[in-house]
Amino acid sequence: MADSNGNSKHENGETKIKAKPRIERNRVLVTGGAGFVGSHLCTYLVERGDHVICVDNFFTGSKENVAHLLGKTNFELIRHDVVEKLLLEVDQIYHLACPASPVHYKYNPIKTIKTSFIGTMNMLGLAKRTRARFLLTSTSEVYGDPLEHPQTEGYWGNVNCIGERSCYDEGKRAAECLTFDYQREHNLEVRVVRIFNTYGPHMALDDGRVVSNFVAQALTGQPLTIYGDGQQTRSFQYVSDLVEGMVRVMDGPYTGPFNIGNPTEFTMLELAQVVKEVVNPDAQIVYKENTADDPSRRKPDISKAKKALGWEPKVALREGLSRMVSDFAKRLGVEAPKVPGRA
């Protein structure tokens, strides 16, 4: 006779425990999962039912970014530096761990290039041991100061290999090289995305990137700082579009590299004007000298991702900015402005 748990006594006196149904879940490692992009990716994967293991050394990321996931049974957080080896059993690896903003990656450039190269090699080693599918988050910075516009994945780039930004740019180029070498040499399933400027909630307030700078300045009543003449262009992608693109690349059949970005171009001056409109119409604009090696134009050609994966960004700049304002206002301890059309 079975008891209320379904366990029964065998005639030899042993209790036979009823097997619990096995829940088949993808075990997904997200390195850098407590950072800006990683925290949104972890949320997406946890919500769709994957078992997510978030690994981070909290250099630029924070526990607060994933605090809403900490009680979930399908989420684990591990403090670990990817420059050190890691032993886990996983089915997929999203490798994001690496500081992404110039202030952070220039803070300790040798550590940045170690994170890019050794960190990526360690995670590829883990993928090789577990036969996990591996996705590298590369960057539009592999194109350097591009001589082709817009940039397709076939463009080899124009990078200054001894400049201040090269710890990041060359680090990512070496990480891409390693990733494809692991595919060629070990037949590993790899995926590569080249991410273009992305913004949204959970960006570090002090990361010096233009969108977070402008939004924080507008919210706190400071002038918006434009470096250079404001005519350099960038394209800005809202973080939910990026997450959707990354997941499609990981789950899809193609290796890439894929450009994942929003091709709509804005000059810095136009961006400042949209931020004024959405956040604080009274904000002033000031101009300062530009930094070294700042690319003058950057715009993705996303036809490859569109054709192969049916992916394209959906969130327009005004909408995306209004979605990130309340998170920034909360963290800055100021009142969020009323965004037109939102409660």
Ligand X SMILES: NC(=O)c1ccc[n+]([C@@H]2O[C@H](COP(=O)([O-])OP(=O)(O)OC[C@H]3O[C@@H](n4cnc5c(N)ncnc54)[C@H](O)[C@@H]3O)[C@@H](O)[C@H]2O)c1
Is residue 215 at the binding interface for ligand X, with CB under 6 A as the rule?
no
Is residue 127 at the binding interface for ligand X, with CB under 6 A as the rule?
no
Is residue 170 at the binding interface for ligand X, with CB under 6 A as the rule?
no
Cis bond upstream, residue 201 (ω within 30): no
Nearer to ligand X, 82 or 250 (CB): 82
Is position 168 annotated as part of the catalytic site? Answer: yes
Is residue 102 at the binding interface for ligand X, with CB under 6 A as the rule?
no
Is residue 317 at the binding interface for ligand X, with CB under 6 A as the rule?
no
Q: Among residues 92, 120, 122, 137, which is the contact residue for ligand X, using CB under 6 A? A: 137
Min. distance of Cβ 161 from ligand X in angstroms? 18
Min. distance of Cβ 122 from ligand X in angstroms? 10
Is residue 100 at the binding interface for ligand X, with CB under 6 A as the rule?
yes
Long-range contacts formed by 339-343: CB under 8 A, 24+ apart: 339/278
Cα–Cα distance for residue pair 34/41, rounded to 1 Å = 10
Nearer to ligand X, 100 or 247 (CB): 100
Q: Which segment (26-34, 182-190, 307-315, 321-329) binds ligand X by CB under 6 A? A: 26-34
Is residue 99 at the binding interface for ligand X, with CB under 6 A as the rule?
yes
Q: Among residues 197, 212, 217, 259, which is the contact residue for ligand X, using CB under 6 A? A: 197
Q: What are 38's two structure tokens?
A: 């990683």
What one-letter code names the amino acid at 147? L
Nearer to ligand X, 168 or 280 (CB): 168
Q: Among residues 28, 29, 34, 329, which is the contact residue for ligand X, using CB under 6 A? A: 34
Nearer to ligand X, 87 or 343 (CB): 87
Is residue 107 at the binding interface for ligand X, with CB under 6 A as the rule?
no
**Positions 40 through 79 that interact with ligand X (CB under 6 A):** 56-61
Catalytic one of 168, 182, 199, 238:
168
Q: Among residues 36, 75, 94, 143, which is the contact residue for ligand X, using CB under 6 A? A: 36
Is residue 257 at the binding interface for ligand X, with CB under 6 A as the rule?
no
Catalytic residues: 168
Query: Which stretches of the chain bind ligand X, using CB under 6 A?
Result: 31-32, 34-38, 56-61, 81-83, 96-100, 104, 115, 119, 137, 139, 195, 197-198, 204
